[in-house]
Amino acid sequence: MLGVALKMLMGDRAKFVGLLFGITFTSFLVTFAASYFCGLMTRGFALIAENGAADVWVTDLSNATIRQLWVRIWRIRLARWAMRACRAFADLAEWLMPEDLRTRL
């Protein structure tokens, strides 16, 4: 029975090579997608995980997705009134200034 199965599988060389290529390529795509997702999630929380000394994190209300978080970090600075409000509540607010975060990255 095993001999018949192998003969049917490897009887047509082109189909067998196509099957192996398809399985290999699919495995690569699944592995790539999983590693891409893990890397994206790691980068998403790394800023907060590495700066664990802060008790309170203040962000914009528009931070609903990872893309909006990256846009805020790289392009948009917090308004000066927001930084004054943070300084009113915590002594560590000076440490959380966007300029300082940008130099830490």
17 with 37, same domain: the answer is yes
- Quote the pLDDT of residue 23: 96
31 with 19, same domain: the answer is yes
- Quote the pLDDT of residue 1: 85
- Quote the pLDDT of residue 105: 47
59 with 104, same domain: the answer is yes
20 with 45, same domain: the answer is yes
Mean pLDDT by 10 residues, the chain (105 residues): 82 87 97 92 77 70 58 56 64 53 51
8 with 35, same domain: the answer is yes
45 with 58, same domain: the answer is no
Q: Which residue type is seen at 101?
A: L
Q: What letter does residue 52 receive in the DSSP assignment?
A: T
Tally Cβ neighbours within 10 Å of residue 96. 19
13 with 37, same domain: the answer is yes
Q: Give the angle 34-40-41 at the CA atoms, nearest 5°.
A: 90
Residues of the domain holding 63 = 53-105
CA 12/CA 2 separation, integer angstroms? 17
26 with 41, same domain: the answer is yes
Among 63, 86, 88, CA closest to 76: 63
